[in-house]
């Protein structure tokens, strides 16, 4: 007996990650401790009881007794590929078995793990020429129009576009099937909602002509859509062909294939029954109920009966500022002030009630914007203020804009429809543009589209300042992104509302969850979230195993993000429409009659501005609109950036954790930096980031409170308007220099203008600082009686940061002084001592021994009591501290402890800090084993704390004394003037990659601040260069091992960023072996593919000790000009497929690696402290806990550091590089005068003819040498690795430049060092800078010239395009450019000695030997009490 509607969506077997040795693929996120996994990727499989029990009826006469003719392909053999898309090079298709029915997996994880042979059309650079349908441009742009047509039901036009794309593009089989599937789905839905015979015939015609006739395979999803469409045909009883169609399609998928079609979840129970009646070969067995949405039980509201009284707290004096931020913030915070008025207290609420408050804080009020505007307009109409000139309310004004814009959009849609009907020859350029953005205007109702546009623009004005101009490019992309998000919600909502798909269908999405996820991700996040749903096959399985509900529903709704150029065109039209209709009343005085008159003026205008010599389009608000926006906030902008009132959700997925309604991202990824996201998600799927997530959870669960004693003093100080501590003054007293007479020297006037600008910049900076502090005090005032939490996430290096940006413990001194732990702890026997040490540390007395610091507090007890009791009206001793507000907090806590009956029983909430000694140098000293350096950064035990800054200053002084004996003018001038402060900033930043030019500027600032007197022709610039040289030399001697490691880092990064992966070489090989084409268009396309195949795209990737993959994001950005209805816009869109920026990769690797180590140390310490029950907070290399637990935390800090550096960190990194980049080839350079260089040049002269071209010196086709040599070397390596002896012998006979180099220079002694490596290591100074810093060169130099020269030496460009040097050229003699002045050198044409003196050659990617480590034993750290103090 048949059971109706009894089935559930079949769960696919989760995708198994590939285990590849070459971990430059995103699928290999960690190269150690990884078991070998199956190389086959299973697409579907037996899901056990999750699958509906559908079986073939064996006793049916209609059942086939023969074996199935066609079966579902359930697995694909592994095909090695890379993560770089290229055009198709004639590789075989996916369906190697010839099965017409295939299951194509569109999972983006698989795509990003490099399991797709072909480039995805969504990122293809191919173009569609202008055609009869009017759609043209790059493939992603045309496909976005195709998807828009499908979404709005314009299926016929979508079909025309799809044919055009498939005829023009070189698409992979998978992309073709995917596009056909989407077209069939939309067609089936259309004939169900709007039945028509033409539509029914069209879908069957399409399947016959475009799929079956062209021999394309089809999948279960496509067949389900065809069955769904067939059931819409008329029954045979009334002249239809319904049964014939169903039987025909079911006959194509007999056996197991038919079972999979029926188990897709796309067919309702009624449709399954009808199919079974027509084709009784399948029996739908019982056992499953229809899934109904679970009802959400509303929790009963409880009202606390307890009321409390408190004195009225003074308000925070507002600072006049641009935009609506302050008013919006106060509106968001009003919930805290409204609770007591209703007799409620957060302290009396349970967890669920507090979570509801948190949700209310995170929710935004924008969804009710239209209703609010309409209500304001109605209220004004009741008051008799309906005239356009009388309207005062901004909300009512926006309602009128919305009405007018809605009408304008309807008129434009009519013009779009007219353009679509025009013949090709009669279309104007405006008509062609309408064909591109027109379909997107139909996606949303006109009223909603206009409201989204208005809200986006007004929000931009509100957040950036209404009297400031908005950059047009950013604004129109924000508008289009918001429209895209709203369109996705509209499509999902509409799909769920329609009775087309079953409730278990993959086309149904949980709309509420999707809305929550989209709210905080910024404009344009909707498409990314929808794509993220593709990954739910492994994520949801993990969730369901824990009994949790999947955020994204059952299966994904397939969609595609809109291309940037399409967004620009759509956003520009909507912006121009708003500019056209938006008017504001402006009252002016008539110039002749002097009467006041009111007229309507454009509320927004389009203009241009110049910045750094470039012309930018801007959108400017009318002054009347700006004034209105100051009076009325548009909506809450800042609620989602507040601290949380409940513990943050634990991190479980890349975008699930932290905030409740608006979860942020686990890793802060910049736009376009998708590599880090893919690696992190893959690591999450493997469980490698478990400890990372737990560490962030530990940081987020720390409870905080406002320190009321400090806040009351700060509020009083703020309201005075004075500069107290680091509080910016309300009215700074800055003197503007008097203007010189016009008859004076023109240079004098120029200096006056510069001085005036300096004063104004200082005034603006102080005002901005006070505005920001105003935000922080408002938040602190609202949270004064509450406990709260800071959810944390991290950057791409693993460094943790609190997500709320305004008030957190990583803020300035006043923020840290305002915060204390929410949970207190008794001081115990040693806590009072650490409170005193904390006070000495924040006062600035932190270089003394611990006993001396403790004694410092005892010696100043009277000042401490005075500060705590009478902070503003007493002696103000606390303001003399380095960190005055933290000092005041320590004074208050210490006074309270001393006044308690038993200080050891005093419950302290004050965080006590333990700071590292130049933490970056600590890691470098441990890595290099530098005994002397380790002693200077307190890795060695000692009776007193060592100070690396003082040590460097002493070395600089000693060097100056030696120069003084030689009567050096700089030494004579600086004798006795070098202090610790002079060198501190340069020492601190040297480890993080500061350049010599930057170091000179740092020292120069210190000399100017110290007012070092000048004499003769001596300048601050020349003195700064002299001192910076001494600092660099001191560091190089002190940290010799670290110096070598940094140079090794640079050499590794240099090779990685100039290498090609095996997959790239294979693509080049396939393209290179093709016959040379003569047709210009095909030749250009072939050249482009070859060019793409040889771009350097490999970025530096490593794994931290906590298994976090770190991917450096630095790539070359390319701009693209897009012509819109408003202006021509240049857009730079980051893309993971762009070439890497070699210079940034080299300069960023050493500091980023050290940052990843200190982040590991912090998270390891957080986990261990949590295990021992310690409260823990951190600011990178400053760790906080209760005073009673400091000694326990110090032991944890030392153990964690020892645990990291007891392993061979650099050796493990080298092994990871060898595994990750195995099989790559990099472009090295050989000395031209070396035996290997000469022999390579000789070989090239004998092999000039390549692919029919005679390669001559200086010829542009010279780059064919590199392509040809690479392909030839690949062939040689393949033959040498063969098991066939004949192949090996043939390989030995092949001569290549690589083979020549390996034979003549096996130790790589003839390689030329890259110039970019010269200034990477600690204390390394480029030769040019060292020469310019000599004592004899004391002439004043312009800093911009120095910086320009430095920049020119770093801008090396892409070496893949470097031409081979003249084979017969002489080796250039050494340059004597250092003998001329800097100015003369800047004017002299720069010769490219890279080309003249060296020969490029492809070599297998190997890495230099790891530098020898020093003899420092890191375990000695165990006894160092000043490691962190």
> Which residues are catalytic, by number?
915, 984, 1181
Concatenating the DSSP letter of every residue in 470-484 gives: EEHHHHHHHHHHHHH
State the DSSP code for 94.
Answer: S
Q: What are phi and psi of 890, to 5 degrees?
A: -65, -40
Taking 3-state DSSP, the helix, strand and coil percentages for the chain, each rounded to the nearest 5, stand at 50, 10, 40
Q: What's the CA gap between 974 and 1015, in Å, rounded?
A: 11
Q: What's the CA gap between 254 and 70, in Å, rounded?
A: 7
Q: What's the CA gap between 986 and 1002, in Å, rounded?
A: 7
Q: What's the CA gap between 97 and 100, in Å, rounded?
A: 9
Contacts of 758 (CB under 8 A, 6+ apart): none
Q: What's the CA gap between 1299 and 1402, in Å, rounded?
A: 10
Q: How many residues comprise the chain?
A: 1429
- Laid out side by side, the sheet with 912-915 consists of 912-915, 1182-1185, 1177-1179
Other Cβ atoms within 10 Å of 61 Cβ, number = 7
State the DSSP code for 611.
Answer: E
Q: What's the CA gap between 701 and 27, in Å, rounded?
A: 32
Q: What's the CA gap between 11 and 530, in Å, rounded?
A: 19
State the DSSP code for 657.
Answer: E
Q: What's the CA gap between 279 and 288, in Å, rounded?
A: 22
Pick from 1249, 1238, 1362: nearest CA to 1300: 1238
Q: What's the CA gap between 206 and 226, in Å, rounded?
A: 11
Q: What's the CA gap between 567 and 573, in Å, rounded?
A: 10
Place of tokens 């680091």: 726
Q: What's the CA gap between 195 and 994, in Å, rounded?
A: 69
Q: How many helices (H) and strands (E) does the chain have?
A: 51, 32
Instruction: Note whether 117 and 25 are within 8 A (CB).
Output: no
* Three-state SS at 1111: strand
Which secondary-structure segment (H or E) carries 242? helix 242-251
Long-range contacts of residues 304-312, Cβ cutoff 8 Å, at least 24 apart: 304/343, 304/344, 304/345, 304/348, 304/349, 305/343, 306/343, 306/345, 306/348, 307/340, 307/343, 308/340, 308/345, 310/340, 310/785
Instruction: Note whether 37 and 62 are within 8 A (CB).
Output: no
Q: What's the CA gap between 432 and 445, in Å, rounded?
A: 23
Pick from 1262, 1388, 1239: nearest CA to 1328: 1388
Other Cβ atoms within 10 Å of 1336 Cβ, number = 10
* Three-state SS at 90: coil
In DSSP terms, 820 is beta-bridged to: 705
Which secondary-structure segment (H or E) carries 1354? helix 1343-1354
Pick from 569, 324, 573: nearest CA to 468: 324
State the DSSP code for 128.
Answer: E
Q: What's the CA gap between 506 and 445, in Å, rounded?
A: 25
Q: What are phi and psi of 1230, to 5 degrees?
A: -105, 145
């Amino acid at each position: 007996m048949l059971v109706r509607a009894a089935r559930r969506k079949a769960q696919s077997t989760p995708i198994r990650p590939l285990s590849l040795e070459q971990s430059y693929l995103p699928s290999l996120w960690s190269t150690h401790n990884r078991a070998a996994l199956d190389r086959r990727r299973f697409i579907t499989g037996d899901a056990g009881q999750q699958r509906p029990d559908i079986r073939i009826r064996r006793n049916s006469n209609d059942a086939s007794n023969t074996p199935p003719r066609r079966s579902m392909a359930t697995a694909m053999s592994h095909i090695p590929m890379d993560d770089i898309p290229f055009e198709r090079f004639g590789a075989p298709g996916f369906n190697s078995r010839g099965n017409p029915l295939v299951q194509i997996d569109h999972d983006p994880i698989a795509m990003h793990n490099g399991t797709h042979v072909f480039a995805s059309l969504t990122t293809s650079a191919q173009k569609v020429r202008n055609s009869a349908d009017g759609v043209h441009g790059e493939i992603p742009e045309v496909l976005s129009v195709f998807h828009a047509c499908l979404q709005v039901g314009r299926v016929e036009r979508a079909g025309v576009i799809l044919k055009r794309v498939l005829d023009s593009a070189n698409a992979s089989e998978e992309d073709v099937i995917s596009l056909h599937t989407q077209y069939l789905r939309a067609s089936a839905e259309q004939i169900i909602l709007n039945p028509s015979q033409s539509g029914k015939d069209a879908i069957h015609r399409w399947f016959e002509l475009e799929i079956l006739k062209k021999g394309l395979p089809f999948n279960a999803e496509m067949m389900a859509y065809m069955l769904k469409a067939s059931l819409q045909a008329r029954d045979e009883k009334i002249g239809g062909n319904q049964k014939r169609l169903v039987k025909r399609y079911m006959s194509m998928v007999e056996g197991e294939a038919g079972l999979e079609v029926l188990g897709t979840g796309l067919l309702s129970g009624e449709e399954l029954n009808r199919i079974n009646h027509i084709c009784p070969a399948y029996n739908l067995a019982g056992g499953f109920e229809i899934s109904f949405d679970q009802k959400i039980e509303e929790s009963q509201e409880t009202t606390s009966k307890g009321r409390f009284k408190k004195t009225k707290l003074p308000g925070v004096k507002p600072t006049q500022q641009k935009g609506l931020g302050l008013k919006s913030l106060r509106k968001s915070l009003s919930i805290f002030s409204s609770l007591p008025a209703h007799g409620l207290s957060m302290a009396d609420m349970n967890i669920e009630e507090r979570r509801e408050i948190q949700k209310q804080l995170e929710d935004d009020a924008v969804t009710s914007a239209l209703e609010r505007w309409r209500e304001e307009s109605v209220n004004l109409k009741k008051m008799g203020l309906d005239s356009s000139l009388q309207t005062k309310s901004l909300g009512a004004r926006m309602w009128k804009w919305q009405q007018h814009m809605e009408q304008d959009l309807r008129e434009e849609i009519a013009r779009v429809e007219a353009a679509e009907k025009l013949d090709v020859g009669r279309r104007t350029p405006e008509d062609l543009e309408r064909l591109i953005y027109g379909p997107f205007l139909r996606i949303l109702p006109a009223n909603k589209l206009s409201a989204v546009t208005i809200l986006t623009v007004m929000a931009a004005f509100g957040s950036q300042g209404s009297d400031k101009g908005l950059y047009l490019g950013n604004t129109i992309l924000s508008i289009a992104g918001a429209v895209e998000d709203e369109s996705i919600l509209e499509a999902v909502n509409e799909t769920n509302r329609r009775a087309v798909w079953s409730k278990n269908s993959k086309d149904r999405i949980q709309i509420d969850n999707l809305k929550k996820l989209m709210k905080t991700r910024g404009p344009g996040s909707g498409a990314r979230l929808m794509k993220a749903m593709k990954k739910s096959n492994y994520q949801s399985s993990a969730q369901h195993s824990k009994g949790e509900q999947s955020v994204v529903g059952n299966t994904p709704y397939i969609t595609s993000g809109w291309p940037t150029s399409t967004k620009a065109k759509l956003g520009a039209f909507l912006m121009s429409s708003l500019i056209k209709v938006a008017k504001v009343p402006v009252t002016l005085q008539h110039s002749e009659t002097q009467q006041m008159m009111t007229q309507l003026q454009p509320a927004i205008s389009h203009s241009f501005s110049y910045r750094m010599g470039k012309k930018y389009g801007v959108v400017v608000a009318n002054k009347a609109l700006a004034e209105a926006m100051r009076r009325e906030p548009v909506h809450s902008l800042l609620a989602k950036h507040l601290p949380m009132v409940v513990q943050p959700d634990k991190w479980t997925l890349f975008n699930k954790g932290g905030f409740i309604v608006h979860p942020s991202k686990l890793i802060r990824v910049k736009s376009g930096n998708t590599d880090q996201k893919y690696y992190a998600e893959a690591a999450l799927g493997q469980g490698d980031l478990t400890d990372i997530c737990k560490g962030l959870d530990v940081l987020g669960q720390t409870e905080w409170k406002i320190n009321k004693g400090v806040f009351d003093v700060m509020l009083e100080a703020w309201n005075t308007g004075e500069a107290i501590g680091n509080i910016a003054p309300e009215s700074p007293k800055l003197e503007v220099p008097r203007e010189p007479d016009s008859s004076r020297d023109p240079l004098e006037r120029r200096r006056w203008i510069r001085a005036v600008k300096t004063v104004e910049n200082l005034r603006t900076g102080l005002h901005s600082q006070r505005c920001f502090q105003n935000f922080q005090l408002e938040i602190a005032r609202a949270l004064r009686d509450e406990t709260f939490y800071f959810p944390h996430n991290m950057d791409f290096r693993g460094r943790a940061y609190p997500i709320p940006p305004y008030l957190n413990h990583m803020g300035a001194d006043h923020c840290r002084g305002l915060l204390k732990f929410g949970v207190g702890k008794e001081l115990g026997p040693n806590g009072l001592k650490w409170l005193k040490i904390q006070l000495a540390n924040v006062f600035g007395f932190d270089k003394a021994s611990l006993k001396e610091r403790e004694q410092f507090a005892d010696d100043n007890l009277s000042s401490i009591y005075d500060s705590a009791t009478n902070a503003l009206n007493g002696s103000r001793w606390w303001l003399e501290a380095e960190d005055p507000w933290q000092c005041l907090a320590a004074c208050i806590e210490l006074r309270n402890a001393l006044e308690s009956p038993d200080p050891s029983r005093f419950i302290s909430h004050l965080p006590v800090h333990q700071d590292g000694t130049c933490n970056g140098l600590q890691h470098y000293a441990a890595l290099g084993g530098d005994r002397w350096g380790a002693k200077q950064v307190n890795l060695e035990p000692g009776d007193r704390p060592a100070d690396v800054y003082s040590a460097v200053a002493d070395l600089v002084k000693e060097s100056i004394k030696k120069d003084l004996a030689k009567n050096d003018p700089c030494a004579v001038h600086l004798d006795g003037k070098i202090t610790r402060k002079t060198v501190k900033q340069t020492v601190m930043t040297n480890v993080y990659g500061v350049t010599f030019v930057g170091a000179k500027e740092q020292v120069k600032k210190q000399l100017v601040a110290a007012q070092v007197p000048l004499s003769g022709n001596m300048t601050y610039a020349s003195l700064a260069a002299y001192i910076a040289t001494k600092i660099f030399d001191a560091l190089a001697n002190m940290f010799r091992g670290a110096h070598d490691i940094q140079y090794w880092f640079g050499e590794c990064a240099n090779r990685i960023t100039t290498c090609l992966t095996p997959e790239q070489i294979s693509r080049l090989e396939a393209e290179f072996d093709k016959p040379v084409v003569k047709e210009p268009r095909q030749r250009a396309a072939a050249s482009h593919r070859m060019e793409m195949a040889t771009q350097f795209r490999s970025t530096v990737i490593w794994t931290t000790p906590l298994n976090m993959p770190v991917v450096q994001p630095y790539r070359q950005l390319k701009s693209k000009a897009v012509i819109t209805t408003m202006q021509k816009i240049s857009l730079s869109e980051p893309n993971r497929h762009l070439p890497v920026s070699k210079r940034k990769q080299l300069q960023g690797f050493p500091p980023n690696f050290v940052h990843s180590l200190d982040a590991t140390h912090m998270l390891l310490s957080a986990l261990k402290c949590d295990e021992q029950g310690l409260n823990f907070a951190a600011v990178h290399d400053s760790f906080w806990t209760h005073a009673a637990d400091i000694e326990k935390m110090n032991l944890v800090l030392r153990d964690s550091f020892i645990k990291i550096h007891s392993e061979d960190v650099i050796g493990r990194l080298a092994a990871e590089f060898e595994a990750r980049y195995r099989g790559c080839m990099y472009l090295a350079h050989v000395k031209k005068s070396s035996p290997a260089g000469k022999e390579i040049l000789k070989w090239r002269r004998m092999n000039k003819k390549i692919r029919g071209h005679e390669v001559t010196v200086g010829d542009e086709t010279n780059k064919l040498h590199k392509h040809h040599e690479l392909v030839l070397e690949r062939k040689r390596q393949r033959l040498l690795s063969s098991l066939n002896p004949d192949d090996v012998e043939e390989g030995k006979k092949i001569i290549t430049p690589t083979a020549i180099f390996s034979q003549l220079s096996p130790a790589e002694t003839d390689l030329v060092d890259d110039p970019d490596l010269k200034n990477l290591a600690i204390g390394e100074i480029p030769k040019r800078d060292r020469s310019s810093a000599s004592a004899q060169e004391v002439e004043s130099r312009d800093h911009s010239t120095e910086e320009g020269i430095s920049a020119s030496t770093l801008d090396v460009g892409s070496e893949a395009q470097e031409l081979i040097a003249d084979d017969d050229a002489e080796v250039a003699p050494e340059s004597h450019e250092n003998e001329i002045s800097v100015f003369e050198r800047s004017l002299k044409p720069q010769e490219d000695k890279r080309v003249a003196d060296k020969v490029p050659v492809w070599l297998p990617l190997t890495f230099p030997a790891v530098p020898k480590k020093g003899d420092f034993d890191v375990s000695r750290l165990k006894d160092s009490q000043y490691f962190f103090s």
